[in-house]
Each structure stands twice: as C-alpha cells, then as structure tokens.
Chain A
Amino acid sequence: MAGPDDRESVLAAASPTALFGEGAGDALSLRRAYAALARVWRDDDEVTRHVRALYEQARAAVETAASAPTVDDTGTPVPSPLPPADVSAQLMAALEARDAPRLLALLRNHADPLVLRHSALVIDALSFLVYGVGEHLGPDALDAVALVTARPDLDAPPHNIEALEIAIETLRALFAAEADPEVAQPLCEAVRKSWFHAPVSAARVWVWLRGELAAQQIDLDAAFHHLERHHPALFGALQRAEIRMAAGGEERLPPAEARAVLREELPPTSELLAKTGAAQATLAPALLLAVLFGAYVCGAPRALIVGMFTGGIYPYFIGPLRTVAKVQRRIEALTSRGNADLLALAEQEGLWPGELARALVPQDVVPRGNAPAYPQDHPLQQLRSDPTALLRCIGSAHIARLTPPEVS
C-alpha cells in the first residue's frame, strides 16, 4: 500500500490494491481509504486523477462482486463469478445464457468499460435485449438500454444503431399505448406476441388478432386512427408488419382471370390520357380556326362552318368526352362494389394487400402528377393506403404460404 503522504509512491501505485491496500475490499473501507487520500491531495490534480482512476476500478470490482448471483432462480448454487475485472467475459456468458436481467445489470453497472473496449459485444447484448426480449422489458429497463444505445462512443455501424433506435422507439410507443385506455389492446398484444418473430409466427398472431378484433367488435378504422394520432411509432410498426410478412415469401400474382376482369374495367390511364390529351391539344386551334374563318367570310355558306364543327370538332372534342364519361361510369361501378371483392380475393389466394395492389395496378396505370387520377375512394387507391387492409384479409392461406415446406 502506498504511503498517503508520499506523492511519488501514490503515483507509482499501479493497482487499486497497491494504493488502497488489501483491506479496502468492502464498499465502506474502500471509500474511507479513498477519502483519506483525496483529502490529502485535493489541490494536486495529477495525483487526484490517479487516485480517482484506481478508486473507480476498485469500486467497480467491489460492486460486481456484490451484485453477482450466488444462487439461480431455483435456489441452486451457481459457480463463482468470473474475475470482477473481466466484465466482458461476464457479458459474453450472460449473452450465451440469454440471461436478460444479468445483461441489463452489467450494462447498467459497467457501461463505461464495456462500451470503451467491447463495443461489438455490447451491440450483440443490445440486439438481444431489444429484438429478442424487448417486449418484456419495462420502461425503466428500456431507458437503460436506450441510454447505452445512444452513447456516441459506442463503436458500431450507424445503420445498426439506427435500427436499434427505431425498435426502441416502437417499444416505447407500445408501452405508452398499453397504458392508454383509448387504445384497442388486442393491437398491442399482437405487437407483443409477434415482436421480431418469424414471418409465419407473426402471420399466425395476426390471424388471431383478426378474430379477436371481430369478437370484441372493435372498429378497426377508429382504432387505427387513434394510433396514428397518438402513438405514431406503434402505428408505423403495424404498417411495417405487412412488409415483414410479405418479405417472408415470394411475390405472387393474383389469378389471371381476376386480373383480366379488373383490367377490362380499368383501362390503363395512359390510354385515357392519349385520347383526352389529343383532344385538349387540338380543341383550341380548331375552335380558333373555325371562328376566324366564319368571321373572315361573313357571308360564306353556313355549311362550311357546320362542316368545321361536325367534321373537325366532334372527333376531337365530343368523342374524348364520351370516352372519359364511359370510363368514369366504370370506375364508379367498381367503386360502389367497395374493396370487399379485392380483399376476398386476397384472403382466398393468400395475397398481401400491397402485393395485390401492385399486381392489379401496373406502373402505366398509376396516376402521376396532375394527370386524371382514380378517385381517393377507389378500391385500388384504398387498398394501397388502408393500414387496416391486412387485418381485413389475412387468413390460413397466408399462413400456409409462409410455412416452410417440410424436408424429408
């Protein structure tokens, strides 16, 4: 043990034991030893820093030894903990044992050395805590995880951190939604049950959810609207669920027959545009020519002017207008049927709503910019934007589609 009044020997002490002595093995003795030295050297920054650094080391060791479990949940004695200094080994052991409470305790008590020297291991631990058991963490534990994730000295690829942060925000939203009496709780339960599960398991949960919502007569639109306004991160997670499930299998096309019927009822917008565009382009000059001509030859035979209108204007003006009206009637007819047909098709064929919309609305039909668009209440538009669509159609065909084939 270094003499407290000898500056050189204090600075030469390389370990906590060398500075504070063997007796400083418990919390209070260690603090007493530290306080005595710190008081003596309070005006000497170099010695103070050295004393403090060794004190922090010793303190961490004392705390780790004190917090290490001696018996497991069943009361069975567990082997002695690893050397206190080697917290990374403890973290690895806890990770292998998938021991979330121990991981949390280690991250809480030893975040500094772990983040400084073992960032990769910390990322593994955080990933397990967030993706693996995130739904079981309470708000306080989640805060602890979030704090370590947010540390700027955590040495990890930014996209890994961003993914963790998004998941943490979703969990925060989940916990907040669970405490909100206005939220349809089966939605929260479904997020919990399917938290980072395989697509087929998630689909099973969603089939359960569909039944539960129906049994509880929950208004889906109102429930989702409330989530979107008050818990947008959770709303986003529900929207992403379909993407995750859809990514679990190959994209499928709806049956050709169904596709053909819908295609016939909905001619590609490009055709419509070609006709109306041509009319718009020629209508103005044709009219202008007719008026100028009529004015110029004031006494000219009327037949000429009538000919201008019937021969020139009709094909370019009345014709396209009739076409537009016809297509509009078809759209209205389909709109009046609602999207129930489409969802029934999706349920029967195990299609994801987005998949169906993509298949039925090829790129050339999708309205762009200021071009005439299908109305917002059109089934295809609804199918593309309705966050509840999946819950209105998911069924056993989806599960079957995601279930991996048995390997003999």
Chain B
Amino acid sequence: MCAADPIGIDLGTTHSVVAVFDGDRPRVLPHPLGDTLVPSELAVDDGGHLLVGAPARTVRLRDPTRGLARFKQGMGSGQPVRLGDQELTPASASALVLRELKQAAEQQLGEPVERAVISVPAWFRESERQATLHAGRLAGLEVLRLINEPTAAALAHGLHAGDDLRSVAVLDLGGGTFDVTVLELFEGVIDVRASVGDVRLGGEDVTDAIVTWLTAEAGARALPQRAGRLRYSAERAKRALSATEAVEVVRDGLDDGTSTLTRAVLAELCAPLRDRMRRLIQQALVQAGLRGPQIDEVVLVGGAVRMPLVQELAEAQFGQPPLLLGEVDHLVALGAAVQAALVTGHEAVRERLVTDVLTHSLGVASQQRWGDQVYADRFVPVLGRGTALPASRTSTFETLHHQQTYVEFKVYEGERREASANHMLGTVRVEVPPHEEETAREDVSVRFTHDVSGLLQVEATAVSTGERSEVVLERGGQRYSPEERAAVAAELAQLKVHPRDLLPNRWLLERAITVVEHLSGSTREELDRMVLGFEAALDEGDPQRISSWRAPLNERVVGLEHSLGIEP
C-alpha cells in the first residue's frame, strides 16, 4: 500500500485537528468518533488503559486526577506531567495525541500516513519547536515543516483571495496561546510582515478567571476531585456568554449555589488579559510599520475568538469589524495541509509563495563598553526579530585582550538585553592569533544564516587569519539523538492503550457514568442498571449482546446529556 499525501495537523492546547490537501483544496478529516475537533487530552480508565481525545476529556471532567490536558503549554520546558501513576514529558503526551490523529487520518484515507506539517504558535521558541518536532517523530511521522499557526490560517484564508494588495491581520486566540500576525496578500504571495504572541495567554485564562470569580463568590475552595466540574461550569458559562448577555452559573464543585455572570462582569474579569492582547496587537502593528486602520482585513482564528470581548477588542484596535469565518476552528489545520502541498510541490498551489519571519532575535553574548563602564553579558542580536526568512547577516566583534587565543560565541535566542536571560542554542569557537602589543585587538566576524526550514548556521571567522569555525543548529532534532528517541518511543509503546475498535463503546460508557453522577432518584437507578448491563456485555465481549445494550443506552445518554446540558 502506498503512503497517503502528507497531512496538516493543528496541534492545539485544547483541541487538535487534522486535514489533508485533496484534489485542489484542503479538507478536514473527521475523527472516527464523529467530531473534527479532537480534544488534546489524555486519561486513564479504571483498567489503567490510556484514553486519548474525547473519551479522555469525559474522564478528566469527571475526575481531574485521572486526566491530563493543556500539556502543550509545557512543551520544551523539560517539566514532566503526571497521568495517573505515569510520568510523561509534554512532548510524549503530545506524541500520543499526534499518533491518535495519524491513525484517525489513516482510517479516513485508507492509506498509511507517514509525513505531516505540524502547526505551532508563532511565538514558540526554539526549545518548544524542538519538542513539537520530537513529538511528531515519536508519533511515527516525518515532520516536513513546522508552520506558524497564524501563517497557516492566512494560507488557508488566502487561497480564496484575489490579486489585490491587501494587508491582513490574523488574530489567533486558542486555548492557551495568542498570536498576532500581520501579513500582505497579493497575487498568491503571502508575505508575513510581523508575528508576535504569548504562549501563556488563551481562552483557558478566561476560564481560569471565571473559576477564580466563582470561588470568591462561594467563599470556598473546590476539592481537587470536584475541580473538574467547577471548571466545566465556568467553561459552559464562558461559551454561553458568546450568545447571551447574562448567564446563571451553578457553582458546581463548590457550594452548588448559583451566581449571575454578565458580559460586563466578564469584561472586568478579563481586563488584564484584554490589555495584554491589545499590547500584542500594537506590537505586531509597530513591527509591520502599520497603524490599525491601515489593515484591510482582520481575520479571527481559534475557538476562543467567539468571545465578544475579543471581537470588540479587534474592532477597537483596527476600526473595522473582524472576519469570523465559519471554519474558525479548522483554518490552521487547513493551512498546514496547504503548506504540506506546497512542500511537496503540489500542482494546485504552484503559484503560492509564503515568506515567513523570524519571531525571536538570534544573536550572541558580548561585553559592551560605555565610557569607563564595561557591561558584561549583553545580548547582541545578529538576526533581529521580524527578519524575513531565509536570511543571512554578519556582525563583527573584537577580542577583549591582546593575548587572547580564542573567542567562544554563545548563541542565544530571545529579546532580553542580558544574554543569559535568553535561551541558549549553542556555542561556536574560533582560534585567534595573540598579539604582543597591549592595545592590539583581533576582529572576529560572525555570520548567521537561517533558512526557511529552520536550519541556523553560525560561522565565526578570525578576520586577519581567515581561520573559520561553524556550527549548524538544526531547529529541531538536535537535542534528541536517535537512541534517545528510540528509548522514549519504547516507553510510550509500553503504555496500555485502549484498543481503537473498542473506543466508541468505552466513550459511551464514560459518558453514561458522567450522566449518572448528575442524576438522582429513579432515573439514576434506571440508567445505572443500563450502565451495569453494558459493562457486563463489554466484559463478555459478545458483539450481539454489546450492540443490544448499546443502542438503548446511547439513545438514553444522548437525551439526558441534552436535557442536563452536558457536552459529550
């Protein structure tokens, strides 16, 4: 069987989506459980089996101690995350989600999927990008390219664009990240002018603010086991406020009282978040050399942009109502699929051209002299933030002492003036000739060359001798040797993953248990009996008996979920 075309994956903080370029346009591939949005969540069931996606979310909302979510925010940090009695890295956890998406795509396409383009927040740093690449490889994918999420969204959006020159701002507010990208569209060219963001700002922060408010209203703290229910209440209230002015929120998991949350109160709770977003928008505009009203189109991407406060902020900043496209949750994955088609030279996108920019400055540590003062540990950018890729630039430095025999450049990524406060990528060392004369110094030039696929080449040259030394810092993969990767993959392979063909039944069972917990009296007893019967049928493994229990249980659960307002 030959491999399918490469897929595009939007690996989100709260949800992930997979798409493929099919014919002359990209399309989203639905998950076998029915939805196109796959929760980026993991959980363990009673038997210690790993659940991924929707079933995991159902388990986590009922019992947060058995679930794991938002691990994307820890990517590249090296901080392990806990899932039941297992300890995983955020990259390993992401790999499990990617593997689920890969298998779902294979099921839909009927062919093995081996290659992918994965989207990342524009503001992701080197370590976070590396961790994403690592996750992709652990999931058994050849990662052709990482694409910045707003660029991907623009790529999908730009497919429908005409030839006119237009400036577009893409505001991507996901569950845990916020990116602003300003770009120009003209005649099939997507030219990113500026890209800024915050990887700790997203819709989940709004939910956090509501949880804090509810906790203050109740004057009590939620028990860890019930924190999931409180959070669920907050999430529902947040979504409801997108369509209504006020909503009654049950302080589920606290004192079970109710509070009235209005849009005005939510706006007040979110004022600090809104100010952070406003600053990022301004930062992107400044970097692009534009003012708000000069933007022709504002495109909102990501699930959290449905909140009116985001739309109002965008309108205030740009002086025009933003575009809220129907496929707001899918744009990034669709764009990643278009990028995959571009990388593989697909005929339908031959005329498309995307130029992206460097989102963080790259430079070296140096000493600087001001008058009599010498300041150490100063960061001197060589390729500044916002530089269009590919790029190459040279800076020249001089030695500190006449008898110096070598210069070692520490290469950093970041924006802080103190070099050590930035993220170190590596070092490059070059030999220089010592001098007799005390005042003599040796010039050393450093050239940074960055290509579009993330390869950074740093070359140091002693000017007088031509002695040269270089280091290639592959933005991805360098930190993980094949042996290390194999060891982690082996660890993941040992996890007991719930069989995929039984997943729909398992999910129905978890949903039914959640509904039972919301009921009382005879309805609860009735559903409880059905759950026990279904569990017994699953244990027996008799397909006929399973399906005889499944249909009525499913009908009952769907009806009760609807009437109780529980999301499946």
Contact = CB atoms under 8 A, between A and B. Distances in A.
Interface in A157-185: 157-158, 161
Interface stretch (A44-52, A254-262, A327-335): A44-52
Interface stretch (B82-90, B253-261, B282-290, B481-489): B282-290
Interface in B263-290: 278-279, 282-283, 286-287, 289-290
A121 to B, nearest CB: 16
Contacts of B375: 158
B244 interface: no
A143 B282 contact: yes
Contacts of B416: 152
A109 interface: yes
A231 to B, nearest CB: 13
Interface string A47-66: 01100100010000001000
Contact of A108 (B286, B353, B363, B373): B286
Interface string B354-389: 010000010100001011010100011100101010
B220 interface: no
Prevailing SS type, chain A contact patch: helix
B361 A63 contact: no
B361 A140 contact: no
B353 A147 contact: no
A112 interface: yes
A39 B351 CA distance: 8
Interface string B385-400: 0101011100000000
Nearest to A55: B388
A125 B514 CA distance: 62
Interface string B416-450: 11000000000000000000000000000000000
Contacts of B391: 49, 52
B282 A144 contact: yes
B283 A31 contact: no
A18 interface: no
A49 B392 contact: yes
B184 A31 contact: yes
Contacts of A48: 390
Given A38-B353, A152-B361, A45 B390 contact: yes
Nearest to B453: A45
Contact of B286 (A32, A35, A56, A147): A147
Contact of B384 (A34, A56, A63, A153): A153
A153 B380 contact: yes
Contacts of A32: 186-187
A39 B353 contact: yes
A38 B390 CA distance: 12
A347 B452 CA distance: 68
Nearest to A176: B275
A143 B279 contact: yes
A109 B414 CA distance: 22
A281 interface: no
Contacts of A27: 165
A240 interface: no
A161 B189 CA distance: 39
B22 interface: no
B35 interface: no
Nearest to B350: A39
Given A38-B353, A108-B286, A152-B415, A31 B165 contact: yes
Contact of A28 (B165, B379, B390, B452): B165
A56 B388 contact: yes
Contacts of B363: 152-153
A45 B390 CA distance: 6
Interface string A103-118: 0000011111000100
B451 interface: yes
Interface in A10-51: 27-28, 31-32, 34-35, 38-39, 42, 45, 48-49
A143 B186 CA distance: 29
Interface in B185-203: 186-189, 191
B189 A140 contact: no
A127 to B, nearest CB: 16
A116 B381 CA distance: 10
Interface residues of B, number: 42
Nearest to B380: A153
A27 B282 CA distance: 23
A150 B379 CA distance: 12
Given A63-B289, A144-B282, A152-B379, A157 B371 contact: yes
Interface residues of A, number: 35
B370 A152 contact: no
Contacts of A111: 286-287, 289
Nearest to B455: A45
A35 B187 contact: yes
A34 B417 CA distance: 35
Contact of A153 (B191, B381, B452): B381
Nearest to B392: A49
Interface string A288-303: 0000000000000000
Interface in A338-361: none
A152 B417 contact: yes
Contacts of A42: 353
Contacts of A150: 415
B361 A153 contact: yes
B386 A49 contact: no
Nearest to A28: B165
Nearest to B361: A152
A35 B414 CA distance: 31
Contacts of B380: 152-153
Given A31-B189, A35-B186, A38-B355, A143 B371 contact: no
A98 to B, nearest CB: 22
Nearest to B342: A42
A33 to B, nearest CB: 11
Contact of B381 (A52, A139, A152, A157): A152
Nearest to A107: B286
Interface string B173-191: 0000000000010111101
Contacts of B283: 143, 147
A140 B353 CA distance: 32
A4 to B, nearest CB: 14
Contact of A109 (B289, B351, B355, B373): B289
A161 B417 contact: yes
Contacts of A116: 384
Interface in A86-127: 108-112, 116
B422 to A, nearest CB: 8
Nearest to A160: B370
Contacts of A63: 289
A35 B379 contact: no
Contacts of A52: 355, 388, 390-391
Nearest to B414: A152
Nearest to B412: A152
Most B CB within 10 A of own CB, among A63, A110, A144, A153: A153
Nearest to A48: B390
B186 A31 contact: yes
Nearest to B317: A140
Nearest to B287: A147
Interface of A: 27-28, 31-32, 34-35, 38-39, 42, 45, 48-49, 52, 56, 63, 108-112, 116, 139-140, 143-144, 147-148, 150-153, 155, 157-158, 161
21 contacts: A28-B165, A31-B189, A32-B186, A35-B188, A38-B355, A39-B351, A39-B353, A52-B388, A109-B289, A112-B386, A140-B292, A143-B279, A143-B282, A143-B286, A144-B286, A148-B286, A152-B379, A152-B380, A152-B417, A157-B371, A158-B370
Given A39-B351, A143-B279, A153-B363, 5 more contacts: A35-B188, A49-B392, A152-B361, A153-B380, A153-B381
6 nearest interchain CB pairs?
A143-B282, A157-B370, A109-B289, A45-B390, A153-B381, A144-B286
